[in-house]
Amino acid sequence: MPTDASRRRSTMPAFERRVLLGGWLVALPALLGMSVLLLLGVPDRVSCGVLGVAVVLATALIARWQHRRVVYPLYTLAGLLEALREGDYSMRGVRGGVLGDAIYDINALADRLQTERLQFEDAARLLGKTLAALDSAVLVFDHEARLRLLNPAAQRLLAGDRGSLIGRQASELALDTLLAAPSAQVVRHAFPGRSGRFDIRHAPLRNEGRSGQLLVINDVGRVLREEERQAWQRLLRVLGHEVNNSLASIHSLAGTLGTVIAREPLADDWREDARGGLQIIGNRAEALARFLAGYSRLAALPPPQKRELDLAVLVPAVARLEQRLTVRVEEGAPLLVQADPDQLEQALINLLRNAVEASLPGGGQVLMRWRRDGERALIEILDDGPGLPGSDNLFVPFFTTKPGGSGIGLALVRQIVEAHDGGVSLVARDDASGALATLWLPLDHRPASSVGLTVDA
């Protein structure tokens, strides 16, 4: 169907019709004068003079009228265009005038520009609030390496106000070396507002056909210090809890033993009480020593010495180490990985021990299997135990749900596999009760003709 614009253009616009009619009206007095001369012949000189003056006056009046009809609408149109050029999109023209079609298009243009300006202003406000909320310093430089935009974090980093920083060269701000260096690297740098380790990233920009650069600076030192502080707080909280529990028991028993020995006369069974109390104190001291030894073991894990391993050999060998329960092994194809044999075996032993301890009370079974999943090698251990406890801290060091547990088994597993660029997960089984422990390692893409390590039971 034809649109309104096509229908408007299919006929002569009103303004053109009016201009054409006005042109004929301007010529009408002359035509009438010529008609009078043709009909009456050549009159006397006075009559010709009067007729000529009348024709000139009539033509002038009609021309003046026509000029106003043509020019005034154009003035209106020019005013609307001037308002648009100055950014005033609130003015509108009357559509019913002689320039109705042009006014219609200009009004539509003003509506569109006004909508786009509101969208731009909303986007600019959102961008400004986003940049202001960022902890990262964001700076934009133009093609002359002059600073054109920065957020409050950048102002704090450069220790200056916006007015004194905008327009300065990158070299004046000692940022030219950061712009010239490769992106996505951590460097140690001293800014006017702060010094330390920073992650530097920059990317090219284009504005109005000219090149520029975006510079983003992240203070990784502060993040690392905060993470270190939180880690120390968690560690001290755990250590303090365990040590205080042991010391409280020892202090209480020591006081009780002191009371028993101080009695006059001594009770008949004071030796048994003293022997029992000292034994409990020794047990608590030994448990505390084991706890601290476990922490030392977790903190001093050496880097993995990777070698070529075949999971078809390693997994059955680990399964045979468990004597409390017969561990079923699902046969699979040979699968080669690069790993430290001692550390990987220890990680599997820890996972297998948890699975066996969960399945023993109910007489369940434990299954071990391995398989390839894309570019990863998966080792899965399934048990028929009661399932996982309701906690998200299973892999947190020193967290345990077992009586007498150390809480370092799963934490050690995760530390080992992450050192191998792998991962570990412990989830509830979908097909039955119990848990599924999954350890995965990246596959080595180098060709291997034979297995480089054989693990004996």
In a domain, 116, yes or no: no
Claim to verify: residue 286 and residue 321 sit in the same structural domain: no
In a domain, 119, yes or no: no
Same domain, 104 and 11: yes
Give the pLDDT confidence of 205-222 residue by residue, as tens digits. Answer: 887 778 888 999 888 776
Total domain count for the chain? 4
The answer to whether position 117 is within a domain reads no
Q: Is residue 44 part of a domain?
A: yes
340 and 432 in a single domain? The answer is: yes
> pLDDT at position 312, please?
94
Domain termination residue (choose one: 264, 299, 334): 299
13 in any annotated domain: yes
State how far the Cα of 243 lies from the Cα of 245, in Å rounded to an integer. 5
Give me the mean pLDDT over the 309-322 stretch: 90
One-letter amino acid for residue 328 of the chain: R
The answer on 232 and 214 residing in a single domain is no
Q: Cβ neighbours of residue 158 under 8 Å, at least 6 residues apart?
A: 137, 150, 165, 173, 191, 192, 193
Q: Where are the beta strands (DSSP E) in 10-146?
A: 137-141
Q: Is the pLDDT of residue 393 over 50?
A: no
Whole-number pLDDT of residue 378: 94
CATH number of 181's domain: 3.30.450.20
Does 45 reside within a domain? yes
Percent of the chain with pLDDT over 90: 11
Q: How far apart are the first and last CA of the chain?
A: 85
Distance CA 432, CA 386 (A): 10
48-76 per-position pLDDT tens digit: 666 677 777 777 777 777 777 777 777 77
Between CA 414 and CA 408 the distance in angstroms is: 10
Contact 164, 198 (CB under 8 A): no
Residue 455 is predicted with a pLDDT of: 34
Given a cut of 80, whether residue 177 has pLDDT beyond it is: yes
Structural contact between residues 311 and 332, judged by C-beta atoms closer than 8 angstroms: yes
The average confidence (pLDDT) of the chain is 76
Q: What is the pLDDT of residue 379?
A: 94
Q: Which among 337, 396, 404, 411 has a CA at the least distance from the CA of 371?
A: 337
Q: Is residue 312 part of a domain?
A: yes
**Residue 121 CB neighbours (<10 A):** 10
pLDDT of 433 above 70: yes
Whether residue 309 contacts residue 339, with contact meaning beta carbons closer than 8 Å, is answered with: yes
Cα–Cα distance list, 126 to 113, 149, 215, 293 (Å): 20, 15, 20, 54
Q: What is the CA radius of gyration of the chain?
A: 45
Beta-ladder partners of 120 = none
In terms of domains, do 438 and 320 share one? yes
Q: Among all chains, which residue has been given the structure tokens 């950014």?
A: 87
Answer with the one of 186, 201, 218 that is the final residue of a domain: 218
pLDDT interval class at 419 (50, 70, 90): confident
Report CA-CA distances (Å) from 56 to 36, 199, 261.
15, 85, 143
Highest mean pLDDT out of 178-187, 219-228, 249-258 = 178-187
Q: Where are the alpha helices (DSSP H) in 134-219?
A: 152-158, 162-165, 176-180
Asked whether residue 52 falls in the same domain as residue 146, the answer is no
Is 347 inside a domain boundary?
Answer: yes
Q: How far apart are CA 196 and CA 441, in angstroms?
A: 35
Q: Report how far residue 250's alpha carbon sits from residue 254's, in angstroms, rounded to the nearest whole number.
A: 6
Q: Are 314 and 434 found together in one domain?
A: yes
Does residue 162 sit in the same domain as residue 207?
yes
- Out of 299, 323, 346, a domain closes at 299
Which is it for the CA torsion 12, 16, 22, 25, positive or negative?
negative
Interval 344-368: pLDDT, tens: 988 898 889 888 888 888 888 899 9
11 secondary structure, DSSP code: S
Query: Residue 36 sits in which domain range?
Result: 4-111
**Domain co-membership, 205 together with 260:** no
- Identify the CATH number of the domain in which residue 314 sits: 3.30.565.10
250-266, pLDDT tens digit by residue?
A: 777 777 777 777 777 77
Same domain (yes/no): 36, 101: yes
410 versus 434: the higher-pLDDT residue is 434
Contact 453, 342 (CB under 8 A): no
Same domain, 332 and 373: yes
0.85 exceeded by the pTM? Answer: no
251 to each of 71, 279, 282, 284, 287, how far by Cα in Å? Answer: 106, 14, 12, 11, 15
Quick one: which of 175, 171, 164 has its CA closest to 138?
175
pLDDT given at position 256:
77
The span from the CA of 249 to the CA of 75, in Å, is: 98
Whether residue 232 is found in the same domain as residue 213: no
Q: Which helix (H) or strand (E) holds 230?
A: helix 220-262
